[in-house]
């Protein structure tokens, strides 16, 4: 048997892979099984200085993703001895990663892409795990897709169930049980499940807490801190675009088209008579320094280096927005957030290159193991890593 803790990008993949390989899998998820379109009700964000975002429900934070399916950290992982070429290719096939046709990207995104090109920035379409035949271009990816057009880990959980996996929701694992240096099961309050193969995939904010209670080493948090900058552009209709349909890379990370309701509220507060259709926005997502902590509380501030990268990216975003028709006299910036918490149980610190801890049979397979801030969407890498590790478990 195998116990998998958490059903997001990492846990959903592990459950599917192990169940398909003939393991008797028990998947334990803290949040409820929900309708995808209600995912926004299950955000469990943490104000840690920078607001750290995640959702707690079956499928984890994949339910609110923008569908970005980019390979990241490929070189860093190869340098650690992990070659994911095969797993990336398989993950792209299973998630259906592709570029979206121009008409789905939306007029605002096309304007921003054209402005970026005019300013000499190489701009590329974002690879997406969104089915263009189902996408209704409502801009609601981060709320939970109402059209089920986007891959989420729930699909992998369902596949795991088809292979016989048992799924328990609304139950949080609060302790890992060990005996003589080997894992022996998990505890959820007074309920226990026994097994000699346990995979932690509770996300980068919960997994290190479970490891810490066993006295196992953990590592600092990164979140890919981002700022959303925008200004008035009457009638742009950008709020319905598929978010982050394209990107510009710069030395600090990525600059991407991004609508946020916070921009509208900030502009209205400043007296601009705007509605959702009257705003153009861009996200600056940086490779933040991993100076965050996950303990009793979560702490994640902004270092001087982070601020420099945000300013550098902000200048690029501002110039693109202005060229695309947003009024620079109205520019506002939403409070800093981070949607890619990771790094808290790194390869080389908490786990080896098979993702196994020093407790025999206890593995980690979520964003916690990532070796560095990607400054890019990590789901595809988490899925590929989980596939890689699943093939090495229980050998
Ligand atoms: C708004 C938003 C948009 C995003 N868009 C993208 C994107 O387009 N592309 C991309 O690559 N990435 C995106 N991300 C990031 C991506 O969703 C996460 O990096 C990824 O889901 C992390 O995977 P994970 O397995 O580490 O954790 P999660 O997917 O968060 O899964 C962890 C699961 O563990 C459960 N859990 C927690 N504690 C316990 C416990 N004690 N017992 C049992 N279960 C527990 C949680 O409820 C959760 O279901 C986005 C994130 C946000 C917030």
Nearest residue CA, atom 2 of ligand 1?
65
**Segment 139-195, tens digit of pLDDT:** 999 999 999 999 999 999 999 999 999 999 999 999 999 999 999 999 999 999 999
For 42-77, how does the pLDDT look when each residue is reduced to its tens digit (9 = 90+)? 999 999 999 999 999 999 999 999 999 999 999 999
**Same domain for 232 and 371:** no
Same domain, 155 and 28: yes
Tell me whether residue 136 is in a domain: no
Ligand 1 midpoint to CA 57 (Å): 9
- Domain annotation covers residue 165: yes
Mean pLDDT of 253-278: 97
Whether residues 74 and 14 fall in one domain: yes
Nearest residue (CA) to ligand 1, atom 37: 202
Give the list of residues 6+ apart from residue 266 with CB closer than 8 angstroms, or none.
332, 334
Quick one: which atom of ligand 1 is closest to the CA of 379? 11
Residue 137 falls within a domain, yes or no? no
pLDDT at 395 over 80: no
381 and 298 in a common domain: no
Indicate whether 1 pLDDT > 90.
Answer: no
Tell me: do 352 and 377 sit in the same domain. yes
Average pLDDT over residues 265-270: 98
Kindly state the average pLDDT of the residues 308-337: 98
**Which residue, chain included where needed, has tokens 């095969």?**
86
% of the chain exceeding 90 in pLDDT: 97
90 shares its domain with 111: no
Q: What lines the ligand 1 site, CB under 6 Å?
A: 5-11, 28-31, 53-54, 56, 60-62, 64-68, 142, 172-173, 201-204, 206, 339-340, 366-367, 377-379, 382
The token pair that represents 164 in the structure block: 């016989």
- 153 shares a domain with 81: yes
* pTM as predicted: 0.98
186 and 288 housed in the same domain: no
Nearest residue CA, atom 31 of ligand 1?
A: 8
Q: What CATH number should be reported for the domain holding residue 70?
A: 3.50.50.60
- Does 103 have pLDDT greater than 90? no
Total of domains in the chain: 2
How far is the C-alpha of 241 from the C-alpha of 280, rounded, in Å? 11
Q: With CA atoms as reference, report the closest residue to 317 among 280, 283, 285.
A: 283
Examine the domain organization and report whether 183 and 331 are in the same domain: no
Residue 383 sits in which domain range?
2-96+144-216+342-390
Residue 337 host element (H or E): strand 337-338
Structural contact between residues 219 and 280, judged by C-beta atoms closer than 8 angstroms:
no
On whether the CB atoms of residues 234 and 255 are closer than 8 A, the answer is no
């Amino acid at each position: 048997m195998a116990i998998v803790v958490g059903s997001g990008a990492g846990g959903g993949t592990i459950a599917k892979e192990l169940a398909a390989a003939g393991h008797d899998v028990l998947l334990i998820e803290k949040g409820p099984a929900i309708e995808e379109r209600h995912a926004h009700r299950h955000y469990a964000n943490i104000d840690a200085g920078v607001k750290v975002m995640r959702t707690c429900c079956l499928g984890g934070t994949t339910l609110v993703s923008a569908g970005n399916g980019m390979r990241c950290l490929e070189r860093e992982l190869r340098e650690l001895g992990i070659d994911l070429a095969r797993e990336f290719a398989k993950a792209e096939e299973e998630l259906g990663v592709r570029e979206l046709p121009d008409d789905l990207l939306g007029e605002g995104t096309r304007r921003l892409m054209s402005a970026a090109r005019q300013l000499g920035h190489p701009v590329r379409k974002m690879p997406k795990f969104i089915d263009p035949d189902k996408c209704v271009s409502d801009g609601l990816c981060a709320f939970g897709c109402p059209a089920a057009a986007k891959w989420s880990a729930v699909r992998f959980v369902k596949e795991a169930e088809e292979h016989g996996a048992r799924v328990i929701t609304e139950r949080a694992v609060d302790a890992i049980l060990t005996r003589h240096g080997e894992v022996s099961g998990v505890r959820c309050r007074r309920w226990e499940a026994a097994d000699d193969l346990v995979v932690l995939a509770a996300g980068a904010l919960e997994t290190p807490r479970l490891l810490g209670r066993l006295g196992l080493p953990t590592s600092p948090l990164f979140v890919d801190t981002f700022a959303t900058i925008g200004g008035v552009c009457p009638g742009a209709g950008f709020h319905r675009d598929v978010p982050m349909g394209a990107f510009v890379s710069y030395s600090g990370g990525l600059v991407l088209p991004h609508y946020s309701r916070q921009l509208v509220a900030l502009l209205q507060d400043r007296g601009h008579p705007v509605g959702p259709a009257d705003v153009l926005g861009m996200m600056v997502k940086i490779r933040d320094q991993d100076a965050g902590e996950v303990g009793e509380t979560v702490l994640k501030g902004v270092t001087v280096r982070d601020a420099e990268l945000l300013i550098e990216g902000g200048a690029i975003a501002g110039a693109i927005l202005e060229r695309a028709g947003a009024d620079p006299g109205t520019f506002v910036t939403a409070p800093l957030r981070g949607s890619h918490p990771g790094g808290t149980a790194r390869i080389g610190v908490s786990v080896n290159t098979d993702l196994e801890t020093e407790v025999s049979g206890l593995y980690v397979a979520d964003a916690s193991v990532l070796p560095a801030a990607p400054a890019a969407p990590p789901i595809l890498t988490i899925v590929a890593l989980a596939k890689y590790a699943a093939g090495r478990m229980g050998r």
